[in-house]
Structure 1
Amino acid sequence: MPRRTMIGIMLLTTLLAGCGGGASAPAPDGDPDFTLAAQPSELNIAPARSGTTSIRITRPAQPGGVVNLKLEGPMAGGGADRIGGAFGPQQGGSSALTLTVGANVPAGTYPLTVHGTNGSVSKTTGVRVKVERWLLVDADRSANNGAPQDASRPLSALDATMRAALSGKAFDVFVVKSGSITTDVPAINGPDAARLNRYSGVVWYTGNQWDQPPTQDDLRSMTAYLAGADHKLVLQSAAFVQALDGTANVFQATDQDLDRNAAQKTFLRTQLGVQGYTFQYRRDAPGVLPGPGSVMGDLGALSLANPASVAAFKRLDDPKGQDLLTVGVGSGVQGAVAVSRTGLGSGGTSRAVYLGLSPDELAGGDVPGLLGRLLRN
């Protein structure tokens, strides 16, 4: 073999050896290990909206390589029925993860996984996305309730107030048809349990009218809804209590006289923790006070109009319940006109709120603030 050829082969062999023969790159200098953590690890995001969490990437003192991140899980992906994720640049040991919920993702809680890799090192951390969608059940017997399919019917002032309370949230509206509680059931029923279960929260209001409280079918639907997980019901109805027997200026027990209105009394007792109820048609414009230690504590003074329909309650001795608002119902006696109860349903994760007065019968005070607190409680 010529000397020049031999020298060329030797040089080529040396170069290939220096490059690892072209088979694989050498391991990077430094330690490839890392850990991941999401802060916060749970986000509430409405359909067609986004939220952001920070993915903290902790590296050793002498790190090696680059950590690559991706989002995984049954609901991860693009499109209207999935939850998409976009990672920002890694700066200061963290990456911002922006999660976007598709417009058609149903209400519920969805676990997602952030998967990081660096060479042969693989780590994960979890993120939970709670998708909120609310249903507003309009049952106040105003003009639009006469023909629920007629969008040209005007809304009442209360209708506008209740819709405004849900601004900023994803919500749908179910308009209950006006009719007779004795002759028009089931045509005047509200949404059934299957419909309610599509939503993380339900606001059901009857306003200041007395003639059409929720039907017994409605109560069964609400009870089934509260038996689920992560559900919230806000029920406003003085009519519900006015229709019961024996209402007066004293509390009527929910566990007595069950041969009459048994379904209503059972609902009050089992779902809302109510021991006694009373209905009053007030002409004295009483003040409404926040319940001790409740979310209403910083709301300020509220007062009722003259006249006003008021349902008030005495709660069971139940640590899961709370008086949110109170009003005087007799000499030295306070009744709760707003109560809440937690620990309901699957895993104790559902909750109910009852408001025994109509927001449009408040003569003074922060009505939007009141409704906002009821939704958050």
Structure 2
Amino acid sequence: MTDDPFEIFLVATPGLEAPLAAEARDLGWAPEIGPGGVTIRGGWADVRRANLMLRGATRVLARIGQFRALHLAQLDKRARRFPWGDLLRPDLPVKVEATCRASRIYHAGAAAQRIERAITEELGAPIAADAGIVIKVRIEDDLVTISLDTTGESLHKRGHKQAVAKAPMRETMAAMFLREMGFDGSQPVLDPMCGSGTFVIEAAEIAAGLAPGRSRGFAFESLSNFDAADWRNMRDMGAVRTPPVQFFGSDRDAGAVRMSAANAERAGVADWTRFACHPLADLPRPDGPAGMVIVNPPYGARVGNKGPLFGLHTVMGEVFRDRLSGWRVGIVTSEAGLARATGLPFQAPGPIVAHGGLKVRLWQTGPL
């Protein structure tokens, strides 16, 4: 394998491909949106940087090879010729996942077995179901594409959150919803139903210039081509800046407020975040300039009896109108009726986004 640029696929939460592409563009890549994510081109330094810096990707796949195979014997032969040793270590276990579509090789399990056998017999690496290194093989129209999952655990796991609420908003989604609202780090953010503090902490991290992957490990650290010195330099390069504003969260649940404060402390943003315990009806207007409210209230399958939810959303709309003039509002919900129950002047809702088996959208207003 050469050091020539190759395709790097950034997996997106379905429905959030566009803001992920915008984020990749801001970081200097030339992204192309496709089904399920965004493709960029680069080398292994780009792979490491994408894992470290991207807030909206759920994982980073390096497309390390392609060849045609019309039957399993041909797949076996070409897999044995593949330069696995350029990337994989013989002492670390590997897992192979295969999918087949519109191809003469149609049995994904048999395809995965052939690749596994080639890796084991040619390189000596063991195969394990719980391996930290995952090879993804896609066979489509008889073209075999081999990708390496360079991430490991999903990128929404930033590495500093221990406590999560019942219906958590994933960090990757929270960051992209903030981006969709035009958040750039200069505006205060308020979440009046903060749960484990995800929106507030993500906003503070963005404003402080903290890399989302700074506190965790990645699968690429176990590859044979891993450049530890370059990685250390890259991770230590970013300078933390003091945000010009504060970020506010509140919740009626004292446990959630304690959880949020502890998560903010671990993330290194405690100095710029404020968490308070009170019901929505007692929400005060934060000191300082107007900014954006973003909230992931209860909805849909998360709550059985929906009657009280309409009352909650009505109160939410009244509180925001009465106390937050000049602020912009974003609500993430699976139900248009609940958004409308607020009586807020929403623009056309954002794209449908897959979230925990539900389809949610971001509803946002201009300044109230």
Give TM class, smaller chain: under 0.3
Higher helix share: 2
Higher relative contact order (CA 8 A, sep 6+): 2
Higher strand share: 1
